[in-house]
Amino acid sequence: MQIFHTIAQLQAALNQHRHQKVALVPTMGNLHEGHLQLVKIAKQHADVVVVSIFVNPTQFAAGEDFDSYPRTLQADCQQLSTVNADMVFAPSVDEMYPIYPPNVQVLSGEITQILCGKSRPMHFDGVGLVVSKLFNIVRPDVAVFGKKDYQQLAIIHKLNNELNFGIKIIGGEIVRADDGLALSSRNQYLSASERAIAPVLSQSLQALAERIIDADLAAYPSLIDETKARLTQAGFVVDYVEIYNHHLQQPTHTDEQLVILAAAWLGKARLLDNLEVLRQ
């Protein structure tokens, strides 16, 4: 496995593989089994897999955890070698953003005004910018993102289509701990007592899913309120619990594929989860 810290070095290495399929797995590092599953998926769809490790400052607002976000490059590379990643791209902020703050923006549109976009209004514009840069740097045939960040994945699909990158975007299923908690780099912010409570988030979404399968749309708001109350009683500070169709639009009576999405604080950790539901 090769490790590169500059764009020029990475592109020189990739130029030797342009006759092969290249996959990109963008990450912010501090990897866990969920990330490794994304690499395994990428290996199934490409000959050469590039994993980027970059804590992107443009997607963090003032007061968020950019400075404290765990940076564990050596351990990350050791894990990536076990799943046969071919290249790691771990640039500095100066390498990715020679001019900072950058003059160019990638605005992600109306989809940023819902869900995480309400509480993190600049976040997805920063995601769109860094992903666009990575797409241009790596020029992959395939890119793999986790479904845990469901809204982010939807935005990247739009970015890929509307900016004509022509990349095959693949969403990897959520990887969960044995007790149902979705794996996340931010789970390590949880104390032992908070970690014991954390599975209530996935359990609450599962309970809500079972109730909406046969429910009328008019019942959704009250069912959501009951779910929020359950989470609050367990100790969460709820950001949102919402039900959308799989295009992240308000559901209609004809939608069969729905998704429940939630974000909630538990101590210092902001936990995300979602659950796809097939209505009968």
Tell me which residues are annotated as active site.
Answer: 35
**Which amino acid is located at 105 in the chain?**
Q
**228 annotated to a ligand binding site:** no
The reply, when asked if residue 33 is annotated as ligand binding, is yes
Question: Was 67 annotated as part of a binding site?
Answer: no
Query: Does the annotation list 146 as a binding residue?
Result: yes
Consult the annotation and say whether 171 binds a ligand: no
CB 271 within 8 A of CB 263: yes
The C-alpha torsion from 40 through 46 and 48 to 50, rounded to 10°, is -60
Structure tokens at 47: 């000959």
Residue 20 burial class via C-beta count within 10 angstroms: exposed 0-12, middle 13-18, buried 19 and up: exposed
DSSP 176: B
133 is in an annotated binding site: no
Asked if 42 and 144 count as a contact pair (C-beta separation under 8 A), the reply is yes
Q: Is 185 annotated as a binding residue?
A: yes
Q: Compute CA 7 distance to the chain's CA centroid, rounded to the nearest angstrom.
A: 23
152 is in an annotated binding site: yes
CB distance 29 to 72 below 8 Å:
yes
Can you tell me the distance from the alpha carbon of 61 to that of 140, in angstroms, rounded to the nearest whole number? 29
31 annotated among ligand-binding-site residues: yes
What CA–CA distance (Å, rounded) separates 64 from 67?
Answer: 8
29 known member of a binding site: yes
Report the Cα 52 to chain-centroid distance in Å: 14
Residue 149 counted as an annotated binding residue? yes
Query: 128 labelled as ligand-binding?
Result: no
172 marked as part of a ligand binding site: no
| Residue found under tokens 């514009």 | 125
Indicate the annotated binding residues: 28-35, 59, 146-149, 152, 175, 183-186
Known binding-site positions for ATP: 28-35, 146-149, 175, 183-186
The annotation places the binding site for beta-alanine at: 59
